């Protein structure tokens, strides 16, 4: 987007890409369908959803979701809106989005150099002087846009290279951490529930007894812990809380530091109060008096989940519903209203959908994406310390910052 827009505005553009093809990550987005934006036309509401959202206000105003949709429609990518205002190509093919961008580059006569691994950036008198490739090629340009992405899914080429150069150039890089990432939990019983999913649960992240994030959404148990949209949404805060005073990225995978206590509290039935649930279970234990204990949860939990809850509540599964005691019933209520899972880590950068952290936005002009430290350097995309939830937010901010950077160079 940045390269195409710069060319459209009249610049002569060379795009350097270390892979042998463009848009490797883009092709994976939205499970290959590319959730290309989030149809929130109120810019104030849109930017609220991001970490450092205020930084995006100008860029989102100039090139917000409506302009993005128009842009792709003009490039021949017809779009559709799905639930939660997520926008996809009608074809359900991410490759159509990539091809539209490649056509945009072609129309602007952008030269693309593939297999061009940037190794270093040299500066002189507060300006970028040269870009050095791995094969030793030295390139000069009046202006440089850096859009090397984050360091999630490194197999796609996003390995956080840009941040090293930027640190050397004097920029502050906020410690990168995995975000929108499944979480590992300590409780081994979750493995037994692998594949069990729940809709519309309330999830809170608790650190040292304080709620630091909460959301509502779908949730799934996995062989290592928990995942699903609700977990991905709060994973940023959970990972940051776990990191605590850790320094090395590998430390993000541990929750064994003294005093560090990060947990998830899950309300499986947010529509029901504790009292109502207790009354419901009390009625069920009478209705299904002669049936085995797990049937007290009929209509509230799937058979596998019910079995697990009965076991967690330390109720003998052979017991009949009618024999469940008040204390056992209350334990079940508490498990369902505030199931607690101890977070011990995340699945890390390998599978995180985005990276939180990156170039400190205080050092970047939000209108032009120009570095405040280096005159002829600009930024676009995930390399910046801005990240959003799932739902098209992250690509939206790539388009808008790319458009701003391209327009200003
Ligand atoms: C599985 C998955 C699904 C996703 N789905 C969605 C979705 O549906 N909707 C959404 O909004 N977001 C989604 N995201 C997030 C979104 O894909 C990213 O936020 C976005 O791709 C970031 O774009 P970018 O251009 O900043 O960086 P990237 O897409 O990471 O591109 C950076 C490019 O720079 C190149 N590069 C890096 N270092 C060098 C170097 N040294 N020399 C030369 N080139 C280099 C890389 O090869 C790469 O091509 C998803 C992410 C993942 C991993």
Task: Express each pLDDT in 114-169 by its tens digit.
Answer: 999 999 999 999 999 999 999 999 999 999 999 999 999 999 999 999 999 999 99
Torsion sign across C-alpha atoms 31, 182, 215, 328? positive
Bridge partners for 16 per DSSP: 113
> Ligand 1 centroid to 228 CA: how many Å?
21
| Residue 146 CA to ligand 1 centre (angstroms) | 13
Strands 210-221 and 118-124, bridge-based pairing: unpaired
pLDDT of residue 243: 87
* The pLDDT value given to residue 100: 98
As a whole-number percent, the residues of the chain with pLDDT over 70 amount to 96
What pLDDT score does 252 carry? Answer: 41
Asked if residue 63 has pLDDT above 90, the reply is yes
Instruction: Calculate how far, in angstroms, residue 384's C-alpha sits from the geometric centre of ligand 1.
Output: 12
Does the pLDDT at position 342 exceed 70? yes
Query: Which atom from ligand 1 is nearest to the alpha carbon of 33?
Result: 8
Tell me the three state secondary structure of residue 85: helix
Number of neighbouring beta carbons within 10 Å of residue 319: 16
- What is residue 260's predicted lDDT score, i.e. its pLDDT? 67
Report the candidate in 83, 62, 104, 107 with the shortest Cα–Cα distance to residue 368.
Answer: 62
CA pair distance 406, 20, nearest whole angstrom: 23
Q: Ligand 1 centre and the CA of 26: distance in Å?
A: 6
What mean pLDDT is reported for the chain? 95
CA–centroid distance for 31 within its chain: 14
Residue 393 CA: which ligand 1 atom is closest? Answer: 11
The string of DSSP codes covering 161-230 is: HHHHHHHHTT--EEEEEEES--EEES-GGGGGGTT-EEEEEEEEEEETTEEEEEEEEEEEE-SSEEESHH
Q: Over the stretch 218-263, which tens digit does the pLDDT of each residue have?
A: 999 999 999 999 999 999 999 999 987 333 334 444 444 544 699 9
Q: How far is the CA of 320 from the centre of ligand 1 (A)?
A: 54
CA-153 nearest atom, ligand 1: 53
Note the pLDDT of residue 98: 98
Q: How far is the centre of ligand 1, averaged over its atoms, from the C-alpha of 25 (Å)?
A: 5
For 355-368, how does the pLDDT look when each residue is reduced to its tens digit (9 = 90+)? 999 999 999 999 99
Q: Do the beta carbons of residue 201 and residue 219 sit within 8 Å? A: yes
Q: Which residue owns the Cα nearest ligand 1 atom 31?
A: 149
CA distance 320 to 311: 14
Report helix, strand or coil for 272. coil
What tens digit of pLDDT does each residue of 255-294 get?
Answer: 445 446 999 999 999 999 999 999 999 999 999 999 999 9
148 CA distance to ligand 1 middle (Å): 8
Q: Kindly report the protein residue whose alpha carbon is nearest to atom 36 of ligand 1.
A: 148
Structure confidence at residue 244 (pLDDT): 74
Which of the listed residues 394, 399, 401, 403 should we mutate to test ligand 1's pocket, taking the one with most ligand atoms within 8 A of CB?
394
Q: Which residue's CA lies nearest to atom 46 of ligand 1?
A: 157
Judging by DSSP bridges, how do beta strands 144-146 and 377-379 pair with one another?
parallel
pLDDT above 80 for 372: yes
* The pLDDT of residue 280: 97
Q: What are phi and psi of 136, to 5 degrees?
A: 95, -10
pLDDT of amino acid 248: 37
CA of 178 to the centre of ligand 1 (A): 13
Q: Tell me which residues have their CB closer than 6 angstroms to ligand 1.
A: 16-19, 24-26, 28-30, 34-35, 116-118, 147-149, 152-153, 157-159, 161, 353-354, 381-383, 392-395, 398
Q: Whose CA is nearest to atom 38 of ligand 1?
A: 148
> CA–CA separation, 203 vs 210, rounded Å?
13
Tens digits of residue pLDDT in 298-341: 999 999 999 999 999 999 999 999 999 999 999 999 999 999 99
- Give the pLDDT confidence score for residue 368 in this predicted structure: 98
- Site to probe by mutation for ligand 1, drawn from 15, 148, 163, 180 as the one with most ligand atoms within 8 Å of Cβ, is 148
Residue nearest to atom 3 of ligand 1 (CA): 29
Task: Give how far the C-alpha of residue 237 lies from the chain's centroid of Cα atoms, to the nearest Å.
Answer: 11
Find the 99 Cα to ligand 1 centroid distance in Å.
16
- Minimum mean pLDDT among 168-182, 256-270, 383-397: which range? 256-270
Distance CA 37, CA 390 (A): 10
């Amino acid at each position: 987007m940045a390269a195409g827009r710069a060319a459209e505005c009249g610049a002569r553009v060379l795009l350097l890409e270390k892979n042998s093809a463009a848009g490797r990550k883009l092709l994976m987005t939205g499970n290959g369908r590319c959730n290309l934006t989030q149809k929130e036309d109120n810019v104030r509401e849109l930017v609220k959803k991001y970490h450092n959202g205020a930084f995006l206000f100008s860029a989102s105003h100039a090139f917000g979701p409506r302009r993005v949709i128009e842009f792709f429609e003009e490039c021949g990518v017809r779009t559709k809106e799905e639930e939660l205002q997520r926008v996809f190509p009608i074809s359900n093919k991410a490759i159509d989005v990539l091809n539209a961008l490649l056509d945009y580059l072609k129309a602007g006569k952008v030269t693309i150099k593939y297999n061009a691994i940037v190794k270093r950036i040299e500066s002189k008198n507060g300006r970028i002087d040269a870009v050095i490739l791995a094969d030793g090629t030295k390139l000069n340009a009046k202006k440089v846009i850096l859009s090397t992405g984050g360091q999630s899914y490194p197999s796609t080429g996003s390995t956080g290279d840009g941040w090293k150069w930027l640190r050397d150039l004097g920029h502050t890089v906020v410690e990168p951490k995995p975000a929108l990432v499944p979480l590992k939990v300590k409780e081994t019983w979750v493995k037994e529930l692998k594949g069990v999913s729940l809709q519309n649960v309330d999830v809170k992240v608790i650190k040292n007894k304080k709620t630091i994030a909460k959301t509502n959404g779908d949730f799934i148990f996995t062989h290592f812990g928990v995942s699903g949209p609700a977990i991905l949404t709060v994973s940023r805060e959970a990972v940051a809380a776990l990191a605590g005073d850790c320094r090395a990225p590998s430390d993000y995978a541990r929750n064994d530091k003294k005093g560090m206590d990060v947990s998830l509290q899950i309300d499986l039935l947010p529509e029901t109060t504790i009292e109502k649930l207790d009354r419901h279970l009390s009625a069920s234990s009478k209705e299904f008096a002669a049936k085995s204990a797990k049937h007290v949860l009929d209509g509230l939990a799937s058979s596998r989940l019910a079995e697990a809850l009965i076991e967690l509540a330390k109720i003998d599964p052979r017991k009949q519903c009618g024999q469940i005691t008040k204390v056992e019933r209350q334990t079940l209520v508490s498990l369902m209203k505030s199931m607690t899972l101890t977070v011990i880590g995340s699945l890390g950068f390998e599978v995180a959908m985005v990276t939180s952290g990156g170039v400190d936005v205080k050092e970047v002009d939000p209108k032009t994406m120009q570095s405040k430290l280096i005159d002829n350097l600009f930024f676009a995309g995930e390399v910046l310390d801005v990240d959003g939830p799932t739902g098209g937010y992250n690509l939206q901010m790539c388009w808008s910052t790319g458009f701003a950077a391209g327009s200003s160079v």
